[in-house]
């Protein structure tokens, strides 16, 4: 019996993490890497790579085993995104956002939501994502202005504008953050609800054409009086802040951390290979023999490894229920952002003219890495949240 399959009696046999990572490496080498240049050049959503991951039984990576998923937490997601990010950051982010969305859907799933969303996610037939950011609130993604209004005993109505929706136009469902529009609702009552692709009243903005992360399909979305069944509400009305800090932030931040660790790791390997390959024609000596370059490469390795270990520690702490995990999770993404940008900058210097030459993959990594600081929660916001947590102050104030 192959891994990640059910026997005739319906019993489920999930892959363990080593088997998952092995499968991800195969897909990364066979499909993701060959498509990476085209994904970046044409700002093309990495469909072949995402579908391959789904078909390999990885769509339910973060869906609990009791729902038929692989039962991985943020630690497994971090490592999967790191492997994918070494080849294509957009593929890592698109799959990461699906996995975050799947974790959110799983957190308080009803039997109906299991049948309509989690079961097809596990079977590789459904792609989901988050739709939280808005132009009016910027990096304060946890304070939506999109309105959720009860219009009947069976339906809500969703109205608002979302921005930077990763997998926009390609996902089958969108986890949308909203604020209650009913006059009698408590102030600040935020909720999450699932809006399905092609629901009447959904209008997509133009294609994503960013400086970096060009395959993300991070598009704007207008929701114009979209009718959504009440059964699509996640948890209870007003649960969004719980979702943000108990599920969204840990999984999302670690997915991003893994993605940018992948960029940093790939850049370091490029530097190492360049120093080994590059020889002076007169003496035949290699750049790898120069002490100053040995020193600089050693410093870069140390920066990457300590950042990676912080990320892994943060993910394990969150997955194990450590009550003090959030500061580590916040800091992990902030440190990885610094590491990725600094790594690619330094590798550009170490590789000299070869790094600036047309066709150098460092160009893409540099553009992709720059997104790490500005993708919400931004690096500055994460530093503030960490400080507040350490001082016993409310994280949101």
Peptide bond into 377 cis (omega under 30): yes
The domain that contains 34 carries what CATH number? 1.10.540.10
The pLDDT tens digits for 129-171 are 999 999 998 888 888 999 999 999 999 999 999 999 999 999 9
Give the mean pLDDT of 37-61. 98
Distance CA 189, CA 373 (A): 29
Buried b (16+ CB within 10 A) or exposed e, 101-121: bbbbbbbbbeeebbebbbbbb
Residue 272 and residue 220 share a domain: no
The pLDDT tens digits for 191-215 are 999 999 999 999 999 999 999 999 9
- Enumerate residues 6+ apart whose C-beta is below 8 A from 82: 92, 258, 259, 261, 262, 265
Q: What is the DSSP string of 340-376?
A: HHHHHHHHHHHHTHHHHSTT-THHHHHHHHHHHHHSS
Residue 227 and residue 289 share a domain: no
Banded pLDDT at 274 (limits 50, 70, 90)? very high
Residue 347 and residue 286 share a domain: yes
Residue 63 and residue 39 share a domain: yes
pLDDT at 329: 98
Give the mean pLDDT of 379-386. 97
Distance of CA 43 to the CA centre of its chain: 18
CB atoms closer than 10 angstroms to residue 309: 11
- Between 43 and 244, name the one with better pLDDT: 43
Domain residues for the domain of 261 are 241-390
Residue 257 and residue 373 share a domain: yes
Residue 177 and residue 103 share a domain: no
Which of the listed residues 212, 237, 262 is the one where a domain comes to its end? 237
Which of the listed residues 104, 127, 150 is the one where a domain comes to its end? 127
Q: How many domains does the chain have?
A: 3
Q: Are 237 and 252 in contact (CB under 8 A)?
A: no
Give the mean pLDDT of 166-194. 88
**What interhelical angle do 362-374 and 89-107 show, nearest 10?**
30
Residue 330 has pLDDT above 70, yes or no: yes
The domain that contains 352 carries what CATH number? 1.20.140.10
Residue 354 and residue 250 share a domain: yes
Lookup result for tokens 């040995």: 294
Which of the listed residues 186, 216, 237 is the one where a domain comes to its end? 237
Which of 30-39, 45-54, 185-194, 292-301 comes out lowest in average pLDDT?
185-194
Q: Are 178 and 190 in contact (CB under 8 A)?
A: yes
Residue 204 and residue 258 share a domain: no
Helix, strand, or coil (residue 138) = strand
pLDDT at 14: 56
Q: Are 304 and 343 in contact (CB under 8 A)?
A: yes
Residue 201 and residue 115 share a domain: no
Distance CA 375, CA 256 (A): 9
Residue 187 has pLDDT above 70, yes or no: no
Residue 324 and residue 373 share a domain: yes
Mean pLDDT, the chain, rounded, equals 94
* Residue 33, in any domain of the structure: yes
Residue 359 has pLDDT above 90, yes or no: no
pLDDT at 353: 93
Residue 376 and residue 318 share a domain: yes
Distance CA 215, CA 209 (A): 8
Distance CA 6, CA 380 (A): 46
* Residue 117, in any domain of the structure: yes
Residue 7 has pLDDT above 50, yes or no: no
* Residue 396, in any domain of the structure: no
Distance CA 358, CA 362 (A): 10
Which of 1-5, 89-93, 322-326 comes out lowest in average pLDDT?
1-5
In Å, what is the CA distance from 11 to each residue of 8, 15, 278, 313, 386? 8, 13, 55, 33, 43
Q: Are 168 and 218 in contact (CB under 8 A)?
A: yes
Residue 313 has pLDDT above 90, yes or no: yes
Token pair recorded at residue 278: 């590059």
Q: Are 156 and 148 in contact (CB under 8 A)?
A: yes
The pLDDT tens digits for 88-123 are 999 999 999 999 999 999 999 999 999 999 999 999
Residue 362 and residue 249 share a domain: yes
* Residue 354, in any domain of the structure: yes
Distance CA 316, CA 318 (A): 5
Residue 47 has pLDDT above 70, yes or no: yes
Distance CA 222, CA 229 (A): 18
Q: What percent of the chain has pLDDT over 90?
A: 88
Question: Interior CA angle at 98 toward 368 and 245, to 5°?
Answer: 90
* Residue 209, in any domain of the structure: yes
């Amino acid at each position: 019996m192959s891994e990640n399959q059910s026997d005739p009696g319906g019993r489920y046999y999930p892959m363990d993490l080593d088997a998952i990572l092995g499968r991800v490496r195969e897909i990364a080498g066979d499909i993701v890497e060959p498509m990476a240049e085209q994904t970046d050049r044409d700002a093309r959503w990495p469909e072949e790579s995402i579908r391959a991951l789904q078909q390999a039984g990885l769509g339910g990576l973060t869906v609990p085993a009791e729902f038929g998923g692989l039962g991985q937490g943020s630690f497994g997601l971090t490592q999967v995104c790191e492997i994918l990010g070494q080849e294509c950051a957009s593929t890592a982010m698109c799959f990461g956002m699906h996995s975050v969305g799947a974790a959110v859907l799983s957190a308080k799933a009803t039997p109906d939501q299991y049948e309509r969303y989690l079961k097809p996610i596990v079977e590789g037939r459904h792609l989901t994502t988050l739709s939280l950011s808005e132009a009016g609130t910027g990096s304060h993604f946890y304070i939506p202005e999109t309105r959720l209004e009860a219009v009947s005993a069976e339906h809500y109505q969703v109205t608002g504008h979302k921005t930077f929706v990763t997998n926009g136009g390609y996902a089958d469902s969108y986890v949308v953050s909203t604020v209650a529009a009913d006059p009698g609702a408590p102030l600040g009552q935020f909720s999450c609800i699932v809006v399905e692709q092609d629901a009447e009243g959904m209008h997509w903005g133009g294609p994503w054409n960013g400086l970096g992360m060009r395959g993300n399909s991070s598009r704007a979305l207008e929701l114009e009086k979209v009718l959504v069944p009440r059964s699509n509400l996640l948890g209870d009305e007003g649960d969004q802040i719980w979702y943000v800090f108990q599920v969204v932030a840990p999984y999302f931040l670690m997915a991003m951390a893994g993605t940018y660790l992948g960029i940093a790791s790939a850049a370091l390997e490029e530097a190492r290979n360049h120093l080994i390959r590059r020889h002076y024609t007169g003496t035949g000596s290699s750049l790898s023999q120069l002490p100053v370059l040995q020193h600089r490469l050693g410093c870069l390795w140390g920066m990457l490894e300590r950042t990676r270990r912080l990320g892994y520690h943060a993910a394990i702490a969150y997955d194990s229920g450590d009550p003090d995990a959030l500061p580590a999770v916040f800091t992990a993404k902030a440190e990885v952002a610094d590491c990725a940008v600094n790594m690619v900058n330094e590798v550009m210097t170490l590789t000299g003219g070869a790094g600036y030459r047309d066709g150098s993959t460092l160009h893409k990594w540099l553009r992709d890495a720059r997104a790490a600081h500005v993708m919400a929660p931004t690096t500055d916001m994460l530093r503030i949240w960490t400080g507040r947590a350490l001082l016993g102050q409310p994280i949101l104030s």
